[in-house]
Amino acid sequence: MEGAGFRHMTETVVEFPFQVTDTAACRDKVFSSLHLIPADAHRRGIDRMEQDLRLGPIQGNSRYYLLRAVKAVEK
């Protein structure tokens, strides 16, 4: 980024804890990465999630890495 003229870079990690309470989003493949999983592996994963959910919510954590920088506009 410095080579492209960006300066004053800052890095921040942001986290959002959440609970999974059902398999609908994963079962319906609402996340694009789930389309890469073969059908049989996807079904096994959903079955395991459903078993785990019988014991209560599954704890999750979304983590994002933010990189900010400023680029001066040449006049």
pLDDT in tens, 6-47: 999 999 999 999 999 999 999 999 999 999 999 999 999 999
Locate 39 and state its tokens: 């059908």
- Same domain, yes or no, for 32 and 45? yes
Phi, psi of 40 (to 5 degrees): -65, -40
SS3 content of the chain, % helix, strand, coil (to 5): 35, 40, 25
pLDDT in the model for residue 70: 94
- Same domain, yes or no, for 31 and 51? yes
pLDDT greater than 80 at residue 74: no
> Which of residues 74 and 30 earns the better pLDDT score?
30
Who contacts 39 (Cβ-Cβ below 8 Å, separation ≥6)?
A: none
pTM of the model: 0.68
pLDDT in the model for residue 41: 98
- Same domain, yes or no, for 32 and 9? no
Question: Number of folded domains in the chain?
Answer: 2
Q: How many CB atoms sit inside 10 A of residue 27's CB?
A: 15
- Same domain, yes or no, for 51 and 30? yes
Q: Which domain holds residue 31?
A: 22-56
State which H helix or E strand residue 75 sits in. none
- Same domain, yes or no, for 15 and 28? no
